[in-house]
Amino acid sequence: MDRIRIVGGKELRGVIPISGAKNAALPLMIASLLTSDTLTLENVPHLADVELLMRILGNHGVDVAVNGRRERQEDGYSRTIHFTCRTIVDTTAPYELVSKMRASFWVLGPLLAREGRARVSLPGGCAIGTRPVDLFLEGLAALGASIEIDAGYVNATAPAGGLVGTRYVFPKVSVGATHVMMMAATLARGTTVIGNAAREPEVVDLANCLNAMGAKVTGAGTSTITIEGVTALSGARHRVLPDRIETGTYAMAVAMAGGDVTLQNTDAKLLDTALEAIRRSGAEIFEVENGLRVVRNGGGIKPVDVVTDPFPGFPTDLQAQFMGLMTMSSGVSHITETIFENRFMHVQELARLGAKISLSGQTAKIEGVGRLRGAPVMATDLRASVSLVIAGLAAEGETVVSRVYHLDRGFERLEEKLTRCGAIVERVSE
C-alpha cells in the first residue's frame, strides 16, 4: 500500500495547475446515460473515482474513449473523454461497484428516466456520516416512480409512459439529490420545479451541460430550479469547471507553509467564502489572469472561526484543510461542521503532529501551537487525508501519511504539483 512522505519546512513557490472538478465530472459522466449520442467532456481529472465510474458506466453499456491530454497543457493533467451509450444493456448497478463510491448511486435517476426501471445498490464511499438516500428516493417518487428497497438494493420503476413533472421541495439541501432529480426530470413529461435546490457551482455546471444536450433547465445556481421535460436528449461537448476544493486546498497549503504560488485555470467566484477566510488568516490572495496568486511571507497565521454551510457558505470539503491551517494560528479558533456528523475523524491524526484540538458536539476548538512536528499519520477519508499533507508541509521533520488511496480519489498528481513548488513530497510504495 502506498504512503506519502513529507519533509516539512519548505515554502511553496511556483505554479500549480488546477484540475477539473471531481464533484462536477462525476454527475456529468452519469448524464451520458440520458442520451444515445456521444457526450464529450473536456478537462476531466485523472482520479481513482473517475476511473471507477467509467467501469460502472461501462457495465450499463457506455462506451468510453479517452483522448489524452488537453490542448496547451502539460502531459498528464486532465483529459477529454467521449461517452457514448447507444443502448443501455443493464439497468442494475451492483453492490461490488456502487459500494466503493457513493456518487455511483446517482445512475438511478438517468436509468429510471431513460429505461423506466433501475436496480441500484445502496451506496458506499467515505465513512463521514450516514448521508441517507431518502432525499433521492423522495424526489424520484415525486416524479411518479415506484420505489422499493430489498436486500440492499433500490428497485425503482417509472409509471407507464414515463416519469411525470412535478413540484417538489427538498426538506434539506442536498447536492447529490439535486443532481439526480434534475437529470431524471429532463426526460419527464411536463414541467418539474425543484425547491430548496442545491446552489453549488457543480449543479450549475451540470445544468449547463444538460442544456447543451437539449434539456430545458433554468434557475440553476438559485434555490429553485425549473426543468421542462423533453422527449430525448442529444450529444454535446462540455468543459468541466475548475475544482474549487483543489483550489482552496492549495491556497491553504501556501497560507500554512508560506510562499508565493499562482493557481492556474481556476476562478475566485467558485469559492469566495473560503478565500475570505484564508485572507483573514493572514494570507494575501490576488485575482490574476486565469487564476489566483496566493502569498504569505513571514506573517503569523491569525485565528479564524468558520461554520460549514451549503454554497455559497464555507464548503464542508475544505473544513479539514482549514483545521490544519488553524493548528498553527496565533490564538484560538472554532470550526463548526453542519453538513456531516462524523467529519472530525482527522482530529486525532492532527493531534499526533502536536495540534491541540478539542471537540464539543459539532464544533472543534483549535488552540494554535507554535510548531508542529512530523509523525506517522493515517488518512481516514478523502479531505481529511489532504489536511494531513498540508500540516506535514509546515511541520518540522518527516511526516508519513498512510492510506493514501483516499488522496488518489480526489487529487490529481498531488505530490508532483507540490514538488514542482519546492516541497519535499514523495510517494513510497511498500
What residues act catalytically?
Answer: 126
Q: Is 216 marked as binding a ligand? A: no
Alpha helices in 376-413 (DSSP H): 382-394, 405-408
Cβ-based burial of 361 (10 A; exposed 0-12, middle 13-18, buried ≥19): exposed
Q: What are phi and psi of 282, to 5 degrees?
A: 120, -5
135 carries a ligand binding annotation = yes
Nearest to 354 by CA among 339, 338, 370, 340: 370
Q: Is 281 annotated as a binding residue?
A: no
Question: Known binder of ligand: residue 310?
Answer: no
**Does 417 count as an annotated binding residue?**
no
Q: Is 102 annotated as a binding residue?
A: yes
**Residue 420 and residue 250 in contact, taking contact as beta carbons nearer than 8 Å:** no
State the cell numbers at 349.
Answer: 491524526
22 is in an annotated binding site: yes
Residue 39 assigned as binding residue: no
23 is in an annotated binding site: yes
Nearest to 86 by CA among 14, 11, 36: 36
CB under 8 A, 24+ apart: contacts of 219-224: 220/182, 222/197, 223/195, 223/196, 223/197, 223/199, 224/193, 224/194, 224/195, 224/197
Please check if 424 is assigned to a binding site: no
Distance CA 201, CA 317 (A): 14
Annotated binding residue 317: yes
Annotated binding site: 22-23, 102, 131-135, 172-175, 317, 339
State the binding site for UDP-N-acetyl-alpha-D-glucosamine.
Answer: 102, 131-135, 172-175, 317, 339
Which segments are annotated as binding site for phosphoenolpyruvate?
A: 22-23
